Amino acid sequence: MEIQFDRVVSSLQSGLSYLGNTLKISVIAILLGTIIALIIALVRFYRIPVLSQVFAFFVTVYRGIPIMLILLIGHLLYVMYFDSVARALHLSVTIKDVDIILLGYIILTIGGIPSISETFRGAMNSIDKTQFEACYSVGLNTSQSLRRIILPQMLPVAFPGYINNILGIVKGIPLLSAVGIMEIMSGALVPCSVSYSYLEGYAATAIIYFVLITIILAASKRIEKYLMRYRVITNE
């Protein structure tokens, strides 16, 4: 069976029409996941009682479960209990009033938190303990030390791993098609339902994601060069 170029073009056009959905899900999941992951990393780094143990358990358990399985379980819970929870909270909305893309935000955000938090925590552990002592010796409190000294030195160390975390989130978006969320892959496969030839749709999806990932990597290299230059200045 030969690949039909015109079908690939048709799938490309259809897939690109859902590029906005993919980008929106990616950006929201990355931003929310980064904020929550940083909080978890700080709590575990400073070993705050109870919370540190709870977050450690969450990270361990969540990293041991495939994201596809979490997505399917989350979808079932969403379908079965959304209306009941909404009534318990005295909300007038039902599951029909809510776009299922909300589930995509939640699943991908939670899915990215464990790996991102471990990346940040590992970067914090790489900073020499004398840096913390120096901060306290000049009268800086914990918040000031983090903002002015620790985080700026942590970012260059964490950045390569963080970019891998971001790529994992972006490349995990096609899984959302399993629960009916329209994104690049599900969009690219729409024309294939007519021809029953899905190879072109998958090829179009691969092309779009390859270009998208290449752009992210190119941007990350520029940012990494800037951060490494800042780290050299900081260490001086």
Taking the C-alpha atoms of residue 69 and residue 77, their distance in angstroms, rounded to an integer, is 12
Distance between the two ends of the chain, CA-based, in angstroms?
62
Domain segments of the chain: what residues? Answer: 1-18+185-236, 19-181
CATH 1.10.3720.10 fits 19-181, yes or no: yes
Of 62, 51, 43, nearest to 120 by C-alpha is 43
* CA distances in angstroms from 118 to 45, 176, 228, listed in the order given: 10, 24, 20
Per-residue pLDDT of the chain (236 residues; tens, 9 = 90+): 567 788 889 999 999 999 999 999 999 999 999 999 999 999 998 888 999 999 999 998 888 888 888 889 988 998 899 899 989 988 888 888 888 888 889 999 998 999 999 999 998 888 877 777 777 777 777 777 777 777 878 888 899 999 999 999 999 999 998 888 899 999 999 998 887 888 999 999 999 999 999 999 999 998 888 877 655 444 44
> What letter represents residue 159's amino acid?
F
Of 161, 165, 127, nearest to 146 by C-alpha is 127
What is Dmax (Cα atoms) for the chain? 72
